[in-house]
Amino acid sequence: MTWLIASGCIVTLLGLAGLILCIRKAAALRAEPDPAKQRAAMHGLVALNMGSMGVAGLGLAMVVVGLIL
C-alpha cells in the first residue's frame, strides 16, 4: 500500500497549496476599497477554501487507509 500512502501525501499537499493560495488571496483583498467587490471575491474564496479542505481531508484519509492496510 505504499502507492496509496504516496498518492495520499501528494493529494494532501495539493490541498495545502490551495489553502495557502486562499490565504494569500484573502490578504490581498484587504486592500480592496470597494466593499461590494471585496464581498464578491470572498464568496469565491470560500468555495476555494472548502474545496481545498476537502482535497486535503481526502488525501489524509488515503494515507490513513494505506497505513491500516
How much is the pLDDT for 30? 86
Residue 69 maps to a domain: no
- pLDDT at res. 34: 84
Is residue 66 domain-resident?
no
Residue 42 inside a domain? The answer is: yes
Q: Which domain holds residue 33?
A: 2-60
Instruction: Tell me the Ramachandran region of residue 32: left when phi exceeds 0, alpha when psi lies from -120 to 50, beta otherwise.
Output: beta
Q: Of 41, 37, 45, 44, which is closest to residue 20 (Cα–Cα)?
A: 45
- The number of folded domains in the chain is 1
Spell out the per-residue pLDDT of the chain, length 69, in tens: 899 999 999 999 999 999 999 999 999 988 888 888 888 889 989 999 999 999 999 999 999 999 998
pLDDT at residue number 37: 87
Return the C-alpha cell found at 14. Answer: 495539493
- pLDDT given at position 57: 96
Confirm whether 23 is domain-assigned: yes
CA distances from 46 to 50, 51, 68 (A): 6, 9, 33
Q: What is the rounded CA–CA span in Å between residue 57 and residue 9?
A: 11
**Does 68 map to a domain?**
no
Evaluate whether residue 67 is within a structural domain: no
